[in-house]
Amino acid sequence: MTSQSSVEQFLAQRHLGLVGVSRSGKKVGNMVLRALTKKGYRVSVVHPEAAEIDGVRCVPSVSELPDEVGGLVLVTPSEQTEKLVREAAGAGVRRIWMQQGAESGVAIELCRESGIDLVHGECILMFAEPAGVHRFHRWIWELLGKLPVSAREGIGPGARSW
């Protein structure tokens, strides 16, 4: 299970890599790109064919991300995730966020074996200063007790606002 600490440490990184952005602009990865850049994150997009998407320069592979990238968001089909985790581990990436649906058991285990701090089973849009429907989604998860471990402990007057 994902810990609150892993979520907070990931979101504290102000430069993130992102895999899963489409040139059509109509995928969840594109929503993540727009939301993160709007919230002040510097995002480096990995796309094997595009030079630029939504005004953001792309690199063709995870291994070509800038050294200062503090984490990698994967918004990819689960069958691609294992390969991307291997590439990230080889490139020295220390934090990965597998967006819901990107997870695979093998990829999760590879992160553990490689010492990569992993967030999975969570929507990054619910935690990166959520707004609109994502704020509501987070509130529902609070009610259902589905937030990462320890995240529920801060609910109440004077508690940290996600």
Please give, one letter per residue, the 3-state secondary structure of the chain. CCEHHHHHHHHCCCEEEEECCCCCCCCHHHHHHHHHHHCCCEEEEECCCCCEECCEEEECCHHHCCCCCCEEEECCCHHHHHHHHHHHHHCCCCEEEEECCCCCHHHHHHHHHHCCEEEEEECHHHCCCCCCHHHHHHHHHHHHCCCCECHHHHCCCCCCCC
Average pLDDT over residues 153-158: 35
pLDDT > 90 in the chain, percent: 67
Query: What's the pLDDT score for residue 26?
Result: 84
Q: 126: pLDDT confidence band, cut at 50, 70 and 90? A: confident
Write the pLDDT tens digit of every residue in 79-122: 999 999 999 999 999 999 999 999 999 999 999 999 999 999 88
Query: What's the pLDDT score for residue 97?
Result: 97
